Each structure stands twice: as C-alpha cells, then as structure tokens.
Amino acid sequence: MNYNARRVNPAKAIYHKFIPESVRNPVGMARRRIVDRFTRLSHSESLPPPELLMNVQMTPFVDEFIRIGERSARSIQSALQPCVPAAAHVLDFGCGCGRTLLPLSKTTAWELHGCDVDSEAVAWLARTASGDRFRVNGTKPPLPFAAESFNAIYAVSVFTHFSEAEQYAWSAELARVLVPRGVAAITTMGDGVIENFPAHVTPENRARLRNCGFLFIEDERAFNARAAFHTLGGLTRLLSAEFDLWQHYERGLDGFQDLTLFVKR
C-alpha cells in the first residue's frame, strides 16, 4: 500500500508537468536505488531483504519501509495507548516483516506478538526481533493462539485486501483470540481513498461502495493487489456479529487509511 499517493508537492507537480514520463521514470528509479543503497549501508539495525518488502508494500525500497512503519506505529500507539495497559499482550495480525511492529516495539512496553501467512517474513522477524512471539497462520482461520490470548489486536493494511467472506471469517477469529472487552484496531480505505486508484473509479464501483458500504476488487496477481474499500457503516456491519464500534479516526493511519477501534462484545 503506497501511503504517499495522497501528498501533493508543488515542485513535484512542476517536474511532472514538464519532464516526460519516459525520462522521469528511469531518473526516479535511479534516485530511489541510490537512496535505498545509502539507507541500507548507513542503518545499524538489520533490515528486511527487498523480496520481503515486495510482499508488504509492493516496492523493494527500505527507506519507504522505515518511514511508513514509523508513521504507522505512531498512529497505532496513539489510538491504543489510552485504552491498552502497559503490560498488555498485543497481536499484530498480518505483521509481515514487522514494518509497524518493529518501530512500535521501541516505543511501547506492550508484549508484542505477530502472525502472518508469509512464512519467510515471519522467520525473518523472529530472527531479527529474537522472540518466540511470531507465528505463521493459514489463509483461513484458526490462528495458532488459544482463545482470549490478547488484550488488543491491530491489523494494518490487511482488511484493505480481504474479500467480504474473509472479512467475516477473520473478524470472528480475531474476536476469539481477544479477551472480553478487548480492542481491535482495524485500518481500512474509506470512500475518499478510492480516488487514489483511478482504475477502480467507475460509476458502478462508486454506487456499490455507497449502497453496500463495501467494495472489493479482486486481483489474482497478489494479495496486496486486491483492494477493499469500506465506509464506516460497511465496516461496522461486517464486524457487527462480534464487535461494537468504539472510535473512528478518519484517515487516522498517518492521514491515509481510516483507523477504527472496535470492542469485543
């Protein structure tokens, strides 16, 4: 998920207007490769290899991984901190190679756990964060955790790619592993964000999102290429069997995805 799509930089707009795409693309890629090489050389901590980054953000660039991870961790921490005690057990559902979890582990005292279907990302994270707190899960529930294992769960950019059936199935499963009154923080793409995906902006898709509160665009190439959009009403309906809506922060994940907190009923 590219969070940068929303920012309009005047210098960049002029560059885009006057320099043809055939020149811009190779220049831009060369610049990003240099920044990437420099970031990897200058960073003292271990960083995930490009192929793991592709599965998380669809680009191989590590500066993007660091920048987005730090912002995302800040958003999750400020939303959850008022209601999740310091000693809480918190699950990062769909943690990938720890883009959000690693920076969050530096700024909170929560006992952080992670799970993902990507076994290589989980193995890398387990080595890097040196813990026995990371698990691989299947593409369908259940998760490899006992009932009521966690005080809180967050899922960053995961429900943004689930089909409607998967939204129901995983919401029930997250509820199973949460304690009663536990909190789930789910990020989603709201109806304004669809403008960042010109191919999906059709009258039919807009009408579907408006009328059903949910729109899913299938794409068989990759999990991250699928796109799910939710209105708040649509998201609340999908999770309503297990959760009550508690707080909604429109574009609360660093100004791009919505961040919504639910409490297990």
Ligand X SMILES: C[S@@+](CC[C@H](N)C(=O)[O-])C[C@H]1O[C@@H](n2cnc3c(N)ncnc32)[C@H](O)[C@@H]1O
By the criterion CB under 6 A, which residues form the site for ligand X?
1, 55-56, 72, 93-96, 99-100, 116-118, 121, 137, 139, 156-158, 223-224
Which of 219, 214, 227, 211 is CA-nearest to residue 162?
227
In this structure, the number of other CB atoms found within 10 A of the CB of residue 231 comes to: 19
Q: Which is nearer to ligand X, 35 or 169 (CB)?
A: 169
Residues 6 or more apart whose CB falls under 8 angstroms from that of 196 comprise: 5, 6
**Shortest distance, position 262 Cβ to ligand X, whole Å:** 17
Residues 6 or more apart whose CB falls under 8 angstroms from that of 144 comprise: 115, 135, 136, 137
CB 208 within 8 A of CB 218: no
**Shortest distance, position 82 Cβ to ligand X, whole Å:** 22
**Shortest distance, position 140 Cβ to ligand X, whole Å:** 7
Q: Which is nearer to ligand X, 12 or 43 (CB)?
A: 43
Q: Which is nearer to ligand X, 1 or 152 (CB)?
A: 1
Q: Which is nearer to ligand X, 90 or 95 (CB)?
A: 95
**Shortest distance, position 61 Cβ to ligand X, whole Å:** 14
Q: Within 13 A of 255's CA, how many CA atoms are on the CB side?
A: 7
